[in-house]
Amino acid sequence: MTARDLERFRSLHEHGHLCTIAWRGDRPIGYAWVALRMEPTVTQCPLPLPAHAAYLWDLYVTPAERSSGIGSALASARLRIAREHGREEGWRMIDESNHASNRTLAKSGGGTRVVGIMRFTKLFSRMRGQFQPAAGGAGATA
Ligand SMILES: CC(C)(COP(=O)(O)OP(=O)(O)OC[C@H]1O[C@@H](n2cnc3c(N)ncnc32)[C@H](O)[C@@H]1OP(=O)(O)O)[C@@H](O)C(=O)NCCC(=O)NCCS
């Protein structure tokens, strides 16, 4: 982890966001974040997170530890954290082509649905996201 990552983690923690960490012995091998509210420190994307949902982001497992269930275990653990904080569902943003990440979604529970599509456009160094809710998706509960 770089010093910049460490500073970002410290700031997220100070803003009250929650991180769950996977350990092998005394070595951290993965992590995943949970936000109970949206704000610029979490993402610049205009995601209309409803009050009954938590935003689940930044799931990561070190390359040497992948494909042994840790990513899916972290994905399940952060859903539990969201529930413990009174949220009925968790929203994730996943690239359609990210097979491993989509598998962690499938393996961390049933009842998933597409709430919408985020499209990104990049103009020079500026990235802009636009959220398009799925029909009957963004407002409904799971
Ligand atoms: C996504 C990620 C967290 C998954 O972690 P993991 O510990 O490998 O997850 P799991 O072991 O639970 O595996 C999930 C599935 O993906 C598969 N998988 C893992 N790496 C893969 C890869 N590079 N390509 C294709 N499939 C892969 C696993 O074999 C497993 O398949 P299975 O369900 O058929 O057994 C990890 O790949 C990662 O950190 N990726 C980089 C960051 C990232 O993309 N995060 C997600 C952002 S939304």
What confidence category does residue 141 fall into, taking pLDDT thresholds of 50, 70 and 90?
very low
The answer to whether the CB of 66 is under 6 A from ligand 1 is yes
65 and 24 in contact (C-beta within 8 Å)? Answer: yes
Report the CATH architecture of 3-133: 3-Layer(aba) Sandwich (3.40)
Tokens representing 54 are: 């938590």
Residue 134's pLDDT is what?
93
- List the one residue out of 74, 63, 142, 69 whose CA is nearest residue 110: 142
Chain center to CA of 111: 17
The answer to whether the CB of 71 is under 6 A from ligand 1 is yes
- At which residue do the structure tokens 């949970």 appear? 34
What confidence category does residue 137 fall into, taking pLDDT thresholds of 50, 70 and 90?
low
What confidence category does residue 2 fall into, taking pLDDT thresholds of 50, 70 and 90?
very high
The answer to whether the CB of 98 is under 6 A from ligand 1 is yes
What confidence category does residue 90 fall into, taking pLDDT thresholds of 50, 70 and 90?
very high
46 and 130 in contact (C-beta within 8 Å)? Answer: yes
CA of 20 to the centre of ligand 1 (A): 17
Please give the Cα distance from 73 to 50 (Å, whole number): 25
pTM: 0.92
- Strands ordered across the beta sheet of 18-24: 18-24, 27-35, 53-61, 89-91
What confidence category does residue 140 fall into, taking pLDDT thresholds of 50, 70 and 90?
very low
Q: For a ligand 1 pocket test, name from 66, 70, 91, 112 the mutation site with the most ligand atoms within 8 angstroms of its C-beta.
A: 66
The answer to whether the CB of 100 is under 6 A from ligand 1 is yes
Please state, rounded to an integer, the average pLDDT across all residues of the chain.
92
Give the phi and the psi of residue 72 in degrees, each rounded to 5. -70, -35
Atom 21 of ligand 1: nearest residue by CA position: 100
Which positions ≥6 away from 35 have C-beta within 8 Å?
A: 17, 18, 42, 54, 55, 56, 57
Res 75 pLDDT > 60 = yes
